[in-house]
Each structure stands twice: as structure tokens, then as C-alpha cells.
A = this chain, B = another copy of it.
Amino acid sequence: MSSRPRGPAASVKITDVAAAAGVAPMTVSRVLNTPDRVSEATALKVREAIERLGYVPNLIAGGLSSRRSRMIAAIVPTIASPMFSAPVQTFTDVLGQAGYHVMLGLSGYKPDGEDALIRAVLTRRPDGLLLTGASHSPAVRRLLKDAGVPVVEIWDAAEHPTDMLVGFDHAELGVAVADFFAAGGHTRFMIFAAGDPRAAARREGFVRRVAQHGGTLVAERTLPAPSGIIDGRLALRAVAPLLTERTALFGSSDNVAFGAMEEARALGIAVPQRLAICGFGDFELSRGCEPPITTVSVDGAEMGRVAAENLLARMNGRAAPRRVLVPSRIIERAST
């Protein structure tokens, strides 16, 4: 008799099932984990016993023994934006179908949020990790290396990822948007960028290319991260006096772009005649609003899917690409 406190109804364990089915516990384990190694007749008996006793396997115990938790940690700044909720959604779906569960970690936009979170998450011995961005503190990099866990980084395109990466180059994307505007005959430019590292990279590329085109950077505003519709409205209101001539605006997200457009409407600034707007993210909003907003589409759901598949490959001992770049493309709509 155990001296431990037990739950209200001492729960059914693998030995109970084994006894009920007249087999060894190990056989029950096989029925659940490697069914092809058990005869059909035995498997039937065992499954019947499982059903009858209402056995729910304990994956904590299994994980300790097998040293595989079948859990994956996903760390993103927030799920309040489609930018991150989309990849997390598909990531969770794909891994769920493979029998893995996802622990969600929300790091916020504070620079040190990630460190503590990764440390905490590693105490659960995840079989894999999804991280946002590829710039991490040296402490984190060492921690990850020591843990020996497969890691996928998304939403970034560092040359030397910690382990694997599925993302794209934000600076290049900024360049592409500048080129797009220039091709439309624009000479005056503005950018509203959120304060996070990736939005900053997009801005850097955009600003650099504008200069190369000999364009004028009329205004450049940094918004709090995560930035939204209201931030876009406020920013546009602040720069409205500068909108005396035809100008092109790049917003760091579709929400920001939409906010700018709505504020422009309220102020009587014509879009796209006086103000051309390009957003980022291809949220449903930019497609559904009136006029629809030109945007840069990056398939976040796809990113999550590929990240999950690469992680699965590695966890199953197969090889997986070190660096996958997902395409981004400008979707031209009525706002430009």
C-alpha cells in the first residue's frame, strides 16, 4: 500500500490494463505505441481492456522513461496579431496530427522576455522549439545548444540560424516596396514602422533604397510594437501637414496601413491620388476594406506548416533543410 496521497479515484494505470487483459504491461505499451509488433488477437484483448477500464495513458511517466516528451514549445511575441497567430495555428495543427502538443510561450516585445521564457520552457524537456526571429542572446544560444533540441526560427532570414530557419529577408522586402513605389513614379516617401527588429529591418531596406532612387523621405515614424490601426491613424494625423504633394506610404503592417488610410479619409486626403499606401502581411483586412490596400503578402500559415514539418523530420531522425526562404510578393490593389 502506497503512503502517497492518491487522487479521489485512484487512476487506472498500465498495470491495471495489463492485468485485466492478461498480458504484461510492456505489451499494453506496445499496443499503444508500436501496434505492428503485437498480434492482432492480443491487441484486441488489450484495446477492449483499455476501453472497459477507461484507461488514459500517462504521458508524463512515458516521457520520463522514453526521454521524449512529445511536446513542442512555440515562442512568439504575441498571438494578438495575425502575423503570429496564423503560423502558430498551422504549426499546432500539423504537430497535433503527429501526436505532439504545443506549449505556447508569449514573449512580448520586451527584449528580455525571451530569455526567461526559453529557460522555463526547457524545464519541460520539449522535443522541439519554435522561435520567432533569429537574434537571441548568447545565453540563449548556449542554452539551446546544450539542450540539444531541434529549433526552428521563423519570420527571419539570418545567414546562420541557430539550427533551422523558415523565413524571409525583411530588408530585401523593404527594398522591393521602394522599387515598387518608384516604378509607379513616386518621388516622395514616408514610412511608419513598428519598433521590433523585423519591422526595423524592413524600414532600413526601404529607406536605403529610397535614397538610391534619389527620392525624398518626407517622414519616418517609429510606432510602438505591436502597432495597430489606432497607431496608424495617429501617425498619419501627425504627418498630415506634410502631405502637400503626391506621396507614397509604407506601413509596417496592414493594420497600420489601414489606420493611415482611414485617417486620411477623415482628413479628406485622397487615396491613392494624394497618398498611396502599401501595407504588410496581407491580413484579411487589407483585402476586405474599401478601397482594398496594396500589401506585401507573406504566407504565415505556410511558414508554420513548413516549420512543423521540418521539426518533425528532424525529430524522426530525418534530415531537414537548414534554411528555407518563403516567397513574399506585392499584391497590388486600389490603394496605390
Contacts and interface: CB of A to CB of B under 8 A. Distances in A.
Of A123, A229, A233, most buried by chain B (CB within 10 Å of CB) is A123
A29 to B, nearest CB: 13
Q: How many copies does the complex hold?
A: 2
Contacts of A78: 89
A171 interface: no
A42 interface: no
A92 B106 contact: yes
Contacts of A7: 67, 148
A175 interface: no
Q: Nearest 7 CB-CB pairs, A to B?
A: A229-B288, A262-B290, A59-B123, A104-B104, A79-B85, A60-B63, A60-B64
A61 B284 CA distance: 44
A232 B285 CA distance: 12
A252 interface: no
A106 B263 CA distance: 36
Given A56-B123, A229-B287, 7 more contacts: A60-B60, A79-B88, A228-B284, A228-B288, A229-B289, A258-B289, A262-B289
B59 A124 contact: yes
A80 B69 contact: no
A262 B285 CA distance: 11
Interface residues of A, number: 65
Nearest to A288: B229
Contacts of A57: 123
Interface of A: 4, 7-9, 54, 56-61, 63-64, 67, 69, 71, 74, 78-80, 82, 85-86, 88-89, 92-93, 96, 99, 101-106, 117, 119-125, 143, 146-148, 228-230, 232-233, 255, 258-259, 262-263, 265-266, 284-285, 287-290
Contact of A85 (B4, B80, B101, B284): B80
B233 A262 contact: no
Nearest to A117: B96
A334 to B, nearest CB: 11
Contact of A233 (B59, B99, B103, B288): B288
